[in-house]
Amino acid sequence: MCTGVLSGAFRTVLYIVWLKIREGLDNPFKNIKQPNENMRAYVLGAGPSFNSFLQEYDEGKAIYSDVDYFASNFFVHDSHFTVLKPKYYSLSDGIFFCDSVYKDRGRAVMTALADNVTWPMILFVPRNYLKSDFLGILGNNGNIKVIGVHSISYQGLEKWRNWSYNKGWGNGEFGSVVLYSLYAALVIGYKRINMYGIDHTYFDNLAVDDDNRLCFKDSHYYGSDKNLKPLYMIRDNVKEEDLRTFTVSEYLENKLKLFRGHEIMARYARSIGADIVNCTPVSMVDAYRRLKNDEKPSTIGC
């Protein structure tokens, strides 16, 4: 047991030293004004159920005023973007910063942000992408403040993770940008956080084709594809001819990391007295308190 503790302590020291050398030990969130105690944060995902949230918003059926929104990825293309006016936006995937097979989609998001943001908004990006040419597309839009979040994942003793997170050294990088947004919301100081559109039903539409390629039916709130598509591993600067699909075991390992990431964020939230409510009715995420079918949104602030 002592050997394990010493090994963990050594890993923690190495992590801190490596972080200091590569990115420094600053807290990128320290200059963001803390919200008042009763202000709610809504972290918005892109699962199919997010359509219900948007419909309720349009119909005025739920309480969505006095809320700070955390949006991400392709939400800028939705007509609700300029209505909700997210205070925070997160981009963590390399497709938004690198010359990959999806570079056109990444550049389109940057262009839409540059053209449509007319209110003060903070854009969180991984620090290792701060020099990306894609960010130059934001141009002279003075409403967007780009903050580089530490990109090196925590590697030390688990009992010291929250201490590291409190210093702003974390990133929520567990395979989903909603965790990126959630970590930011917690460190900024929000104590009441609701999550929408985190369906995470990744296993519903999987299949292996005759060529042993793992395939899926893509489904988000902004559209679905009924055809099976190969599930490719997307890495920075990889060209189309070099793409390969996940194996089943690789994909399951990837999603294991994601769901464990939610458990880590739930523990961190409890340690700082924050309450996270999963308001996604069909969500596979079991780490947070859920909005039950017989509960009214106003009773828990959703």
Q: How many CB atoms lie within 10 A of CB 198?
A: 26
- Between the alpha carbon of residue 53 and those of residues 45, 165, 233, the distances in Å are 10, 30, 30
User: Is this model's pTM higher than 0.95 or not?
Assistant: no
Distance CA(181)–CA(186), nearest Å, equals: 9
Angle among Cα 31, 16, 91 to the nearest 5 degrees reads 50
What token pair was written down for 112? Answer: 């839409």
What pLDDT sits at residue 219? 60
**Structural contact between residues 287 and 266, judged by C-beta atoms closer than 8 angstroms:** yes
Rg of the chain over Cα atoms, rounded to whole angstroms, equals 19
Domain membership of residue 257 (yes or no) is no
What pLDDT sits at residue 152? 95
Q: Which residue reads 């409890």 in tokens?
A: 270
Q: How many CB atoms lie within 10 A of CB 184?
A: 26
**Structural contact between residues 218 and 224, judged by C-beta atoms closer than 8 angstroms:** yes
Closest CA to 280 of 269, 264, 291: 291
Domain membership of residue 173 (yes or no) is yes
Give Cα 52 to chain centroid, integer Å.
Answer: 20
Domain membership of residue 135 (yes or no) is yes
**Structural contact between residues 78 and 113, judged by C-beta atoms closer than 8 angstroms:** no
Domain membership of residue 174 (yes or no) is yes
Under 8 Å CB-to-CB from 273, ≥6 apart: which residues? Answer: 191
**Structural contact between residues 176 and 260, judged by C-beta atoms closer than 8 angstroms:** no
- Give me the phi and psi of 94, to 5 degrees please: -60, -20
What pLDDT sits at residue 299? 46
Domain membership of residue 293 (yes or no) is no
Domain membership of residue 52 (yes or no) is yes
Q: Residue 72: give the domain boundaries.
A: 2-199+273-284
Domain membership of residue 76 (yes or no) is yes
How much helix, strand and coil, in percent to the nearest 5, is found in the chain?
Answer: 40, 15, 45
Domain membership of residue 261 (yes or no) is no
The domain total for the chain is 1
Distance CA(112)–CA(56), nearest Å, equals: 25
Phi-psi region of 213 (alpha: psi -120 to 50; beta: other; left: phi over 0): beta
Backbone CA torsion sign across 249, 251, 257, 258: negative
Distance CA(59)–CA(80), nearest Å, equals: 13
Q: What is the pLDDT along the chain (302 residues), one digit of tens a residue?
A: 566 566 788 899 999 999 999 999 999 999 999 999 889 999 999 999 999 999 989 988 767 778 999 999 999 999 999 999 999 999 999 999 998 888 899 999 999 999 999 999 999 999 999 999 999 999 989 999 999 999 999 999 999 999 999 999 999 888 899 999 999 999 999 999 999 999 999 998 898 989 999 998 766 555 555 678 888 887 766 666 678 899 999 999 999 999 999 999 999 999 999 999 999 988 999 999 998 765 655 444 55
